[in-house]
Amino acid sequence: MGIKCSKFSLCWCGSQHKPSVLQSSDPENEEKNLLPSFREFSWEELKAATNGFSPDNIVSEHGEKAPNVVYKGFLQDGRWIAIKRFNKSAWPDSRQFIDEAKAVGNLRSERLANLIGYCYEGEERLLVAEFMPNETLAKHLFHWESQPMKWAMRLRVALYLAQALDYCCSRGRSLYHDLNAYRVLFDQDGNPRLSCFGLMKNSRDGKSYSTNLAFTPPEYLRTGRVTQESVIYSFGTMLLDLLSGKHIPPSHALDLIRGKNFLMLMDSCLESHFSNDDGTELVRLATRCLQYEARERPNAKSLVTTLVPLQKETEVPSYTLLGIPQGNANNNEPQVLTPMGEACLRMDLTAIHEILERVGYKDDEGVANELSFQMWTNQMQETLNSKKKGDAAFRTKDFTTAINCYTQFIDGGTMVSPTVYARRCLSYLMCDMGNQALGDAMQAIAISPEWPTAFYLRAASLSTLGMTNEAQDSLREATKLEAKRNRN
């Protein structure tokens, strides 16, 4: 059907790196390019995106027994998303939840993991944001495996975080709740971004700090309220994290600084990788942020002004400094592909067709079909005939007829078959109808969330639409499911 393998080969690609890290984001222009408009999602849409809110999709890393869980999800339009699902006692007033979500949803910055939607149905309250595939600052700073975070990258994290706070202040959202190393995420190019979730209160009780009291702003301990200056105090604790590579209580750090032993604060992995002047300047900034009196702390704009001259290796992309491949989705291990995976990787639609034809409908065995007595009559016979005609057309590669017949079977509504969706998906691909193919792959996943073939076909569909990073993710997911099935 005119589909060339080279055109749709799966490969890593990423966005072009900005000329310099010193350039602050331009929120007025970037909103046009970053994301679709903020919108309301349905419960069913998010349930399908997370495979029924499967525990396998939970991405919360810190291990606290928080009532609010964050899931990784995949939308039918090919985007990965992060979904924060609140517990049932949070946000009982749906109007308050919607208003707060919309206010945060108006923000758009390349320094934020932006909020792109919300959902409220019954007692459910969910926020939807951009998904950041390269984990948290806590992971890269405290729990690194291959290399410690470089000094230039630590300085970049500090600057980007300050720019994020400055942008939020300029848009009237100066309060950030519980700013910490788990709130800073890395996108596909390794650029640090501030999670938008902290711009909303966790629940109606207004509790804003879940960390150890040793890291909590002193005025919050006195009043229980977050102020702009409280956020700056938390920024100061994060500067200590970046300096030391550890989560050091501010009181202990300030004692060392007052004793002019600030070098004892520094991460031993950074020895000889930074100048004393730079270290002294960053320690001085942290000290200003951690002043006991809130009015003595700098504002967000002042943080940016101080951090810009300290930047190093400004022309080096973040993914290089972070030590990850460009466009990395946090998994660069070689894949051992099955024949189906190989066919999808090559976009060999003929080979995919042969595999689907060979395995038949054996993967439908676990799908329950509830049929009333009345359906075992003319309607049922007509539905089955549509499927048989579709199978015959699929076998002879008459894909247009196959699409029409399978559509009649699906519209009949008397039976649910992931294999029919898979076969119609491939038929759409053969007819250069990528969006329709992706829709069918997603339907097959919703019906059978553990079926590797559905994920393979999603990878092929995404590849035809030019979504190569997402296609790679789906291919990896299919491979994992196949390995899991073989182990069982």
Considering Cα of 450, then 452, then 453, then 455, what sign does the dihedral take? positive
Residue 403: how many CB atoms within 10 A of its CB?
23
For this structure, is 93 an active site residue?
no
Range scoring the smallest mean pLDDT among 16-30, 275-289, 359-373? 16-30
Of 168, 175, 208, nearest to 301 by C-alpha is 168
Q: Say what the pLDDT of residue 97 is.
A: 92
Pairing between β-strand 39-40 and β-strand 112-113 as defined by DSSP bridges: unpaired
The length of the chain in residues reads: 488
Range scoring the smallest mean pLDDT among 18-27, 34-43, 313-322, 420-429? 18-27
For residue range 308-362, list pLDDT tens digits in order: 999 999 999 999 999 888 765 444 444 557 788 888 888 899 999 999 999 888 8
Residue ranges with strand state E in 93-225: 112-113, 115-121, 124-130, 184-186, 192-195
Q: Say what the pLDDT of residue 7 is.
A: 31
First and final C-alpha spacing in the chain: 38
Q: Say what the pLDDT of residue 33 is.
A: 52
Q: Say what the pLDDT of residue 242 is.
A: 96
Indicate the SS3 state at residue 332. Answer: coil
Packing angle of the helix pair 300-307, 151-170 (nearest 10 deg): 150
Q: Provide mean pLDDT across the span 235-244.
A: 95
Give the homologous superfamily in CATH for domain 339-487. Tetratricopeptide repeat domain (1.25.40.10)
Indicate the SS3 state at residue 28. Answer: helix
Q: Say what the pLDDT of residue 177 is.
A: 87
DSSP letters spanning 205-217 = T-----S-GGGS-
Domain 38-130 sits in CATH 3.30.200.20: yes
Which entry of 26, 99, 166, 178 is annotated as an active-site residue? 178
Structure tokens at 56: 């396998």
For residue range 189-234, list pLDDT tens digits in order: 999 999 999 998 654 444 566 657 778 899 988 888 889 999 999 9
For residue range 86-104, list pLDDT tens digits in order: 877 778 888 999 999 999 9
Q: Say what the pLDDT of residue 253 is.
A: 86
Rounded CA gap, 222 and 443, in Å? 53
Residue 96: how many CB atoms within 10 A of its CB?
12
Residue 17: how many CB atoms within 10 A of its CB?
17
Asked if residue 111 has pLDDT above 90, the reply is yes
Rounded CA gap, 109 and 168, in Å? 9
What residue ranges do the domains of the chain occupy? 38-130, 138-193+204-322, 339-487
Range scoring the smallest mean pLDDT among 3-7, 201-205, 296-300, 479-483? 3-7
For residue 275, what is the DSSP state? Answer: -
Rounded CA gap, 192 and 23, in Å? 14
Question: pTM for the whole thing?
Answer: 0.70
Asked if residue 365 has pLDDT above 70, the reply is no
Q: Which residue has the higher pLDDT, 412 or 413?
A: 412
Residue 333: how many CB atoms within 10 A of its CB?
6
Split at pLDDT 50, 70, 90, the class of 152 is: very high
Which range in 3-7, 15-19, 149-153 is most confidently predicted, on average pLDDT?
Answer: 149-153
For residue range 287-320, list pLDDT tens digits in order: 999 999 999 999 999 999 999 999 999 999 999 9
Split at pLDDT 50, 70, 90, the class of 469 is: confident
For residue range 382-399, list pLDDT tens digits in order: 778 899 999 999 999 999
CATH architecture of residue range(s) 138-193+204-322: Orthogonal Bundle (1.10)
Segment (H or E) for 154: helix 151-170
